[in-house]
Amino acid sequence: MQKIDFIARIAEQTGTTKKTSRQVVEAALDLISQSLASGEKVVLTGFGTFELRERRERRGVNPQTREPMVIPATKTPSFAASNNLREMVRERLAREHGR
């Protein structure tokens, strides 16, 4: 599902306009991004957790020159689904596949 489809479905389910739904989605994504950028964890109970994870410095190879190189440590955003979300997805997939 693309972002535009996501916004359209939210508008449909909430009875709001696509414009209003887009503003809400954009505000939510901006807030999550800003929180992560400032080092905060974002916990959406029943859905999941967005947080920064540290990746250690590691060795790699430059694909163009094949020279060994050190890839510096970095922080990267990650998402961990809640148990509720995992279970909902499993149940839905099981129903669709007749299990």
Domains and CATH numbers, the chain: 3-96 (4.10.520.10)
Question: For residue 99, is pLDDT > 80?
Answer: no
pLDDT at 98: 73
Contact between 76 and 55 (Cβ < 8 Å): yes
Residue-wise pLDDT tens digits, 8-67: 999 999 999 999 999 999 999 999 999 999 999 999 999 999 999 999 999 999 999 999
pLDDT band at 97 (very low <50, low <70, confident <90, very high): confident
What is the model's pTM?
Answer: 0.77
Two structure tokens written together for 24: 């809400």
pLDDT at 77: 96
